Amino acid sequence: MKTEIEKLPESKVRLKIEVPSEKVEECLEKAYLEISKSLKVPGFRQGHIPHLVIEEKVGSKAIHEEAIRFLVPHAYVEAILEKKIMAIGKPEIKVTKFAPGNPAEFEAEVTVVPEVLLGDYKKIKITEKEIKVEDKEVDEMLKSLQKREALLEEKEGLAETGDWVEIDFDGFKNDIILEKLKSRNHPLIIGEGILLPEFEENIVGLKKGEEKEFEITFPEDYYDNDLKREKIKFKLKLLNIKKVNLPEINDDFAKKISGGEDKALEGLREDIKTALLKQKEHEERVRKEGEVINQIIDKAHVEIPSLLVKEEIDQMKKDLGEKLESQGLKLPRYLEHIGKEEAQLEEDFKEEAERRIKVSLVLNCIAETEGIEVSEEETEAEMNKAKGENAAASKEHVDIEQARKYIKIVLKNRKTLDKLLEYAVR
């Protein structure tokens, strides 16, 4: 069998494959046999009908099509294995020559794993940050725990800063209600800044059951692009007010927070400091990995196929759909809420999808260059660890092989990033 390879744009190749006449004859024999099994001809047993009779009944075109159905898949797989082509997705096949007693020819156009041109990743440099926990950070955590243990007491009179309140509100843009600025029985503590300060200020001075209308202009740096610098009218109703009684931060408080352990306040402070330190170490690791990834993908060149981008966008949509369903919301309803069509959502995902693919391909290429591998023992240990950390999920039906492949990829990426961090901080 002869195979010629032609490189095409967007990480595609065209294979021109010639199959020897002997293989063509073999596939024709299979075609005759397969057709004769379902053909009923008086005087002949099914599966034992002469070729000429079969041709008279179904025509040579049908026989050739059946032979091509046997020949093409086998020859295509043989060609990509022989030429070590990393094909992605289904090929587009075009048969250019097929006749009994002659070699057959066909073309296969297919997307391949893109070639990655790495930059000099060994020369990347990042700066490490000093990790420490200040006393004021421990104090802030203690205050957060104090608020969590607060007791709420019914209150008469007007709402003040520091009170717990429950509200209904609707936001209007050009007199049209916005679903994302609508809430019922919404709890908050006035002054904590969970909502915009200008919004919370308008609750102060209201009494239970009172309603109010007001306008605020959203800031330029607001996270939602659709609301930046927009003037929004709100209708608000105060449903409930409660006074927040905070417990005193002392040894008794420390004992309660520690689940009844005989722990003094200083012991709780040390525990908080240790937990904050671990959190900061994790955040610093994530920051360094992010910097390293940004640098290696800036140095690398990859032509990302549209097929991979589409697959990644589909996966991102699936992940979003599952997350929304866990919150009792369907994707179409969510799109209605944010005022977008599915095509707009896909366009929003496109840049991130391309980045994810590039990161994956570049990390994989570096792992191959560095000879980084993950053993079966390492994979098994990580799987057992995952089972132990999530015992409930381990009881559910899980595709073990898919989980194993995923864990192997995660471990390989982790090892690769470890190696890159060695180069970056030495």
> pLDDT tens digits, residue range 191-202?
998 899 999 999
Q: Does residue 27 sit in the same domain as residue 105?
A: yes
Note the pTM of the prediction, 2 decimals: 0.71
Shared domain for 196 and 96, answered yes or no, is no
Same domain (yes/no): 6, 85? yes
Judgement on whether residues 95 and 18 belong to the same structural domain of the protein:
yes
353-392 tens-digit pLDDT? 999 999 999 999 999 999 999 999 999 999 888 777 665 5
Say what the pLDDT of residue 15 is. 96
Q: For 202-232, how does the pLDDT look when each residue is reduced to its tens digit (9 = 90+)?
A: 999 999 999 999 999 999 999 888 899 999 9
Say whether both 180 and 78 belong to one domain. no
Alpha-carbon distance of 187 to 239, in angstroms, equals 10
Q: What is the mean pLDDT of residues 160-187?
A: 94
Q: What is the mean pLDDT of residues 163-168?
A: 96
Same domain, 103 and 158: no
- Quote the pLDDT of residue 391: 54
In a domain, 295, yes or no: no
Query: Has residue 73 been placed in a domain?
Result: yes
Do 180 and 89 share a domain, yes or no? no
Residue 314 belongs to a domain: no
Which pLDDT belongs to residue 56?
85
Note whether 59 and 156 are same-domain residues: no
Mean pLDDT of 125-142: 94
Calpha distance 12→270 (Å, rounded): 59
Query: Are residues 158 and 57 located together in one domain of the fold?
Result: no
Instruction: Give the CATH number for residue 97.
Output: 3.30.70.1050
- Between the CA of residue 51 and those of 20, 40, 68, what are the distances in Å? 22, 14, 17
Q: Are 164 and 189 in contact (CB under 8 A)?
A: yes
Inform me whether the pLDDT recorded for 178 exceeds 80. yes
User: Do 31 and 105 reside in the same domain of the chain?
Assistant: yes
Examine residue 393 and state whether it is found in any structural domain, yes or no. Answer: no
Looking at 86, 113, 140, the residue that finishes a domain is 113
Please, which contacts does 35-41 make with residues 24 or more away whose CB atoms are closer than 8 Å?
A: 35/62, 35/63, 35/66
Tell whether 211 is covered by a domain. Answer: yes
**229 located within any domain:** yes
> Where among 212, 245, 278 does a domain terminate?
245
| Domain final residue pick, 245, 272, 292 | 245
Higher pLDDT pick, 51 / 108: 108
CATH code of the domain containing 168: 3.10.50.40
Q: Is residue 25 part of a domain?
A: yes
Q: What's residue 309's pLDDT? A: 94
Q: What is the b/e burial string over 339-368, where b = at least 16 CB atoms within 10 angstroms of the residue's CB?
A: eeeeeebbeebeeebbebbbbebbbbbbbe
Residue 178 within a domain: yes
Q: How confident is the model at residue 345 (pLDDT cuts 50, 70, 90)?
A: very high
What residues does 188 pair with on adjacent strands?
Answer: 165
Rounded-to-integer distance, Cα 276 and Cα 283, Å: 10
Indicate whether 241 pLDDT > 90: yes
Q: Do residues 184 and 103 both lie within one domain? A: no
Domain of residue 207 covers 151-245
State the total domains in the chain: 2
Instruction: For residue range 3-46, list pLDDT tens digits in order.
Output: 999 999 888 999 999 999 999 999 999 998 888 888 888 878 77
